[in-house]
Amino acid sequence: MPAPMRSFRDFKESEINWVQPRALERHYELRSGQQVFATLTWLKVFGSLAEAIMADGRFTLKRGGFLRPFVTIRDTVMGNDIAVLRMGMLRHATLEFSNGRRIELISTRFWGFEWEFIDENGMKLCKIRMKAAMTKNSAEVTIFEAVRKDRDLLIMLVIGWYTMVLMNDEAAATAAAGAS
């Protein structure tokens, strides 16, 4: 039986993680202990369409573009994009919200297993550090105290994790193709 979904406004602990409850299944939960704050599930075995469910809403995420890749996050109830993550060069991306807010997403490790969101003033908002494995992925999430109540924080954590999982999957596929 899944744990009940909690509003992120209830998050008061210091530790939160992305976990993959079942090996080889493209379903993840953002949790602190037994409290679940968001889920992220790919809707097809192949492809980039995923659904994020939170206490405050339901969203879809989809990667697009080839030479200029991007990820959209769409409110499924309202039917509009609430943010677009535009991938740049050299492990850098910009998250643009529909209200005009821009946040940078920067890889802080060479292999791309740690990413930080940084606001327009250079303040660190949160960090996601992936622990990749052959059959299960997880991540430690650090939320910096000054931004714990940021209205966009949960969206950042979802789109950041979505992007990291896609990048890890693509790297694994490339390695497997090169080995054959």
3-state secondary structure 25-48: CCEEEEEECCEEEEEEEECCCCCC
Q: Is residue 178 part of a domain?
A: no
Q: What is the pLDDT of residue 80?
A: 94
CA distances from 177 to 85, 111, 166 (A): 28, 19, 16
Q: Is residue 177 part of a domain?
A: no
Q: Do the beta carbons of residue 162 and residue 50 sit within 8 Å?
A: yes
Q: Is residue 36 part of a domain?
A: yes
Residue 92 φ then ψ, to 5°: -145, 140
Q: Is residue 3 part of a domain?
A: no
Return the structure tokens found at 152.
């966009």
What domain range includes position 12?
Answer: 8-171
CB-CB neighbours of 37 under 10 Å: 23
**Percentage, residues of the chain above pLDDT 90:** 57
> In total, how many domains does the chain have?
1
Domain of 159, CATH number, reads 2.40.160
Among 24-33, 38-47, 103-112, 169-178, where is mean pLDDT lowest? 169-178
pTM over 0.95: no
